[in-house]
Amino acid sequence: MNKPELLAPAGNLEKLKAAINFGADAVYLGGSKLNLRAFADNFTDKELNEGIEFAHSRGKKVHITVNVFPHNEDLPGLEEYLKQLYNMGADAILVADPGIIMTAREVVPDLNIHLSTQASCINYKSALFWHNLGAKRVVMARETTLKDFRYIRKKLPQSCEIEAFIHGSMCMAYSGKCLLSNYLTGRDSNRGACAQPCRYKYHLFEEKVHGEYDEITEDSDGTYILNSKDLCMIEHIPELVDSGINSLKIEGRMKSSYYVTSVVKTYREAIDKYIEDPKNYVFDSKWTEYLLRPSHRPYTTGFFFNDDIRQHYDSSSYIRNYDIVGIVRDYNKESHIATIEQRNKVYNGDIVEVLTPKGDNKIIKLQDMKNENDELISSAPSAQMIFTIYCNEKLMVDDMLIKYKKNK
């Protein structure tokens, strides 16, 4: 049976390590140039070296996004940048522009090329075209149906891998190529600076006779007519695996570490459970519950099954039920003292959930909270401050503490 790669977003070094610790087979990230997330943290050269070393030491891969549609002024230095990525040990680059592909073939012929979803590849003939030009993998357009994926896999040689987005934010533009941001704000979405005007609130009017206008809207507060729901395919792991897709991709380089760990862990468990025993596979409802906790919009299966309605008209805001409050940095088995690095304000006595790479989450109470001077404290209010707690439950380094937002 085909066991697909689970590919996770890594907006910074912490998220890269979290994704790999919680089960990702590979991560994708933006370097210092030419990627479509100009406002993500992205990686410095030093961080990129550390991230690649961290991943490779654990048998995982790192894919670098070079997926802008460059203008002439973006091209100087391209050859040197591609050589730099190759020398650092990047496992592949994600590219949409034919000029960048051609350049990569010339200067780093041994560096794997993955065709970005921005290239709008939606049929096997196009995939074969790009494969013949050097693309080892094709990230199919998000408009591709599950039926299309099955057909494309059958028509392509095994040397051409295919990849699909299975979770995360969706863009209403065709394969993510949009000019709304350029027109409304002057920020070029195809060069990484999208202002996301599709998430704005709009008022729509229909012109009647004599210059009169009737407002067409859900209610008096306006509507979000371009705002897409988020993609979620957790209930369809058997169909995804059986379709022959080689890599299952999670969106979210701008999302939090908690989002990355929670989503990666959920899909890791579901994929492994199906691969282990396909005939007796049963969907576990806890996976849906896990995916409702980190920030998300209402879910859809996107174009996989041709859902009739993919837009969410009420609000563009994320639903956020839980916050990450800390990351375990050490646990002393003898004293039962856990050392925590703070992420959001948390109080002594709070009930929190422990998100751990393997196994079910645990519920603990924060007790005997102390600062670095071993002084009792009532809360941890400062960003990234180090504090300790007493905890009988064995905790592991990099376990994540999360708290329901209404829990005070």
What is the model's pTM? Answer: 0.89
Check if the beta carbon of residue 165 is closer than 8 Å to that of residue 121. no
Answer CATH for 5-170+229-300 from 3.40.190.10, 3.30.9.10, 3.20.20.70, 3.40.50.970: 3.20.20.70
Task: Give me the architecture of the 322-404 domain, per CATH.
Answer: Beta Barrel (2.40)
Q: Looking at residue 122, what is its pLDDT?
A: 94
* Tens of pLDDT, residue by residue, the chain (408 residues): 789 999 999 999 999 999 999 999 999 998 877 765 555 567 889 999 999 999 999 999 999 999 888 889 889 999 999 999 999 999 999 999 999 999 999 999 999 999 999 999 999 999 999 999 999 999 999 999 999 999 999 999 999 999 999 999 887 777 777 777 787 788 877 767 788 877 778 777 777 777 777 776 655 566 777 788 899 999 999 999 999 999 999 999 889 999 999 999 999 999 999 999 999 999 999 999 999 998 888 899 999 997 666 767 677 677 788 999 999 999 999 999 999 999 999 999 999 999 999 889 999 999 999 999 999 999 999 999 999 999 999 999 999 999 998 644
Q: How many CB atoms lie within 10 A of CB 129?
A: 14
Positions of E strands within 106-240? 112-115, 135-139, 161-168, 204-207, 213-216, 230-232
- Chain mean position to CA 192: 16
Check if the beta carbon of residue 64 is closer than 8 Å to that of residue 114. no
- Residue 319 backbone dihedrals phi, psi, to 5 degrees: -90, 120
Q: Looking at residue 316, what is its pLDDT?
A: 67
In the chain, where are the structural domains located?
A: 5-170+229-300, 322-404
Distance CA 357, CA 169 (A): 24
Q: Looking at residue 37, what is its pLDDT?
A: 57
- Cα torsion for 359, 292, 14, 87, to the nearest 10°? 90
- Cα torsion for 165, 276, 261, 389, to the nearest 10°? 170
Angle (CA) 145 151 152, round 5°: 85
Distance CA 152, CA 122 (A): 9
| List of residues 6+ apart from 393 with CB closer than 8 A | 354, 362, 364
Q: Looking at residue 221, what is its pLDDT?
A: 63
Strands 367-370 and 386-390: antiparallel
Distance set, CA 118 to CA 173, 176, 401 (Å): 10, 6, 36
| List of residues 6+ apart from 259 with CB closer than 8 A | 252, 294, 295
Do the domains spanning 5-170+229-300 and 322-404 agree at the CATH topology level? no
59: alpha, beta or left? (left if phi > 0; alpha if psi -120 to 50): left
Check if the beta carbon of residue 247 is closer than 8 Å to that of residue 164. yes
- Chain mean position to CA 379: 31
Q: What is the DSSP letter of 36?
A: S
**C-alpha closest to that of 97 among 65, 57, 136:** 65
